[in-house]
Amino acid sequence: MRVVVVGATGHIGTSLVPRLVRAGHEVVAMSRGTREPYAPDAAWASVERVQVDREAEDAAGTFAGRVADLRPDAVVDLVCFTASSAAQLVEGLRGRVGHLVHTGTVWVHGDSTVAPMDEDDDREPYGEYGVQKDAVERLLLEETRRGGLVSTVVHPGHISGPGWPCITPAGNLDPSVWQRLAAGEPLVLPGSGSELLHHVHADDVAALHERVLERREDAAGLAFHAVSPQATTSRGLARAAAAWFGREAVLDLVTWERFAEVTAPEHVEASRAHLLRSHSCSTRRGREVLGFTPRWSSAETCRQAVRALVDAGELDLGGARP
């Protein structure tokens, strides 16, 4: 196939584009700037690169036509954030493209009511980001049901892996969490320690996108979670991380009020957003419909991310390496 990937040099595209090339597809990589992908790969040498300001072209009403003019068989949209943007793309691609794959988020679920959650369980989307992603999903899947543009939605959990910071056991991006665990120092965690986090390796997200493209007829009009095989509790992730360094986690479980007293406000806000949602998402549909099983556990995904940060000199663990 000829596949256009929108937002191709980000977290997911870094893994997805080389996968598609190696599978024999012709790939057009659209991105806003000239930034290189997170990891080098010889496969990028055969990729057509197109620079585009999606926000500006959406405002001008030209983006969908720009994509359609590239004559793709399928489009993977990794950076659509509003229903209005999605609607424009659908109008421009309908009748001209065979398959649209949209990247959503597990934030469409909002607060957990069951565990694990299936894709169709009741939801209360969290924040404007989650609300808009939920609206995009509804628009695209209804489009497919009406016999229009065939669409599929992939909902990643907390994307991580080599190349960028990982959500810590405290539910935030505070590097001191990893530093304390590596040193065997006490770590303050809010709540009971049983709050859930559901990470996913970026390559598993890319692999699911690839499988969706391969199995278009099976994936048409459906949404799929892209998460690790199991969620982890905050306590469990802390214990696993301490073990990377031959340590036992020394955890101080405190109230949210106490946590806010000893933690920077931006980290408290992130912790609330992640831990109070307590997401655990089912991978059943991906297994049953697409035969897809994610490769990386939550703990191993985080370990790779932390190791890469240490190796790049972006995280100082006092000489320790996970």
CATH of the domain at 138: 3.40.50.720
Number of domains into which the chain is organized: 2
> Residues 159-168: pLDDT tens digits?
999 988 999 9
pLDDT at position 163, please? 86
Considering the domain architecture, whether residues 66 and 90 belong to the same structural domain is answered as: yes
Is residue 259 domain-resident?
yes
> Based on the domain organization, do 265 and 300 belong to the same domain?
yes
Domain-ending residue, one of 182, 207, 226 = 226
Range of the domain at 300: 161-198+230-279+296-311
Mark whether 185 and 220 lie in a shared domain. Answer: no
Q: Is residue 60 located within the same domain as residue 192?
A: no
Quick one: 236 and 134 in the same domain? no
Q: Are residues 82 and 124 in the same domain?
A: yes
Q: Are residues 71 and 166 in the same domain?
A: no
- Cα angle 247-248-253, degrees, rounded to a multiple of 5: 135
d(CA 99, CA 150): 5
In this predicted model, what pLDDT tens digit does every residue of 188-216 receive, in sequence order? 999 999 999 999 999 999 999 999 999 99
Q: Confirm whether 240 is domain-assigned.
A: yes
Name the pLDDT band for 64 (thresholds 50, 70, 90).
Answer: very high
Here the CATH number for the domain that contains residue 252 is 3.90.25
Looking at 211, 226, 241, the residue that finishes a domain is 226
Q: How many CA atoms within 13 Å lie on the side-chain side of 10?
A: 16
304, part of any domain: yes
What's residue 35's pLDDT?
73
Number of neighbouring beta carbons within 10 Å of residue 267: 19
CA separation for the pair 277, 159 (Å, rounded)? 16
234-244 and 298-311 helices cross at what angle (nearest 10)? Answer: 50
**What Å distances lie between residue 23 and 55, 219, 242, CA to CA?**
31, 19, 38
pLDDT tier at 2 (50, 70, 90 boundaries)? very high
Residue 165 lies in a domain: yes
Residue 263 binned pLDDT confidence (cut-offs 50, 70, 90): very high
Q: What pLDDT was estimated at residue 38?
A: 79
Half-sphere CA count of 93, side-chain side, radius 13 A: 30
SS3 42: helix
Instruction: Indicate whether 70 and 179 sit together in one domain.
Output: no
Residues 6+ apart with CB under 8 A from 56: none
H helix and E strand count, the chain: 13, 13
Residues 209 and 69 in one domain: yes
Q: Would the pLDDT of 36 be above 90?
A: no
Q: Tens digits of per-residue pLDDT, 214-223?
A: 999 999 999 9
Tokens standing for residue 165 = 């910071």
What is the share, in percent, of the chain residues with pLDDT greater than 70?
100
In a domain, 117, yes or no: yes
In a domain, 320, yes or no: no
| Rounded Cα–Cα distance for residues 157 and 279 (Å) | 9
Q: Tell me how far apart the alpha carbons of residues 183 and 278 are, in angstroms, rounded to a whole number.
A: 27
Q: Answer yes or no: is 85 within a domain.
A: yes
Q: Determine which helix (DSSP H) or strand (DSSP E) holds 186, and give its type and residue range.
A: none
Please list, in sequence order, all residues whose beta carbon lies within 8 angstroms of the beta carbon of residue 87, skipping any fewer than 6 positions away.
139
303 and 168 in a single domain? The answer is yes
Kindly state whether residues 167 and 65 are assigned to the same domain.
no
Q: Is residue 307 a part of any domain in this protein? A: yes
Q: 91: phi > 0 → left, psi -120 to 50 → alpha, else beta; which?
A: alpha
Mean pLDDT calculated for residue range 288-306: 97
Tell me the pLDDT tens digit for each residue of 40-55.
Answer: 889 999 999 999 999 9
Angle at alpha carbon of residue 28, lines to 201 and 77, rounded to 5°: 50
Q: pTM for the whole thing?
A: 0.96
pLDDT at 34 over 90: no
- CB neighbourhood size of 271 (10 A): 27
107-148 tens-digit pLDDT: 999 998 899 999 999 899 989 999 999 999 999 999 999 999
Give the span between the Cα atoms of 285 and 290, in whole angstroms: 8
Same domain for 103 and 151, yes or no, is: yes
Token output for 311: 């190796």
- The confidence score (pLDDT) of residue 39 equals 83
Q: Is the pLDDT of residue 33 over 80?
A: no
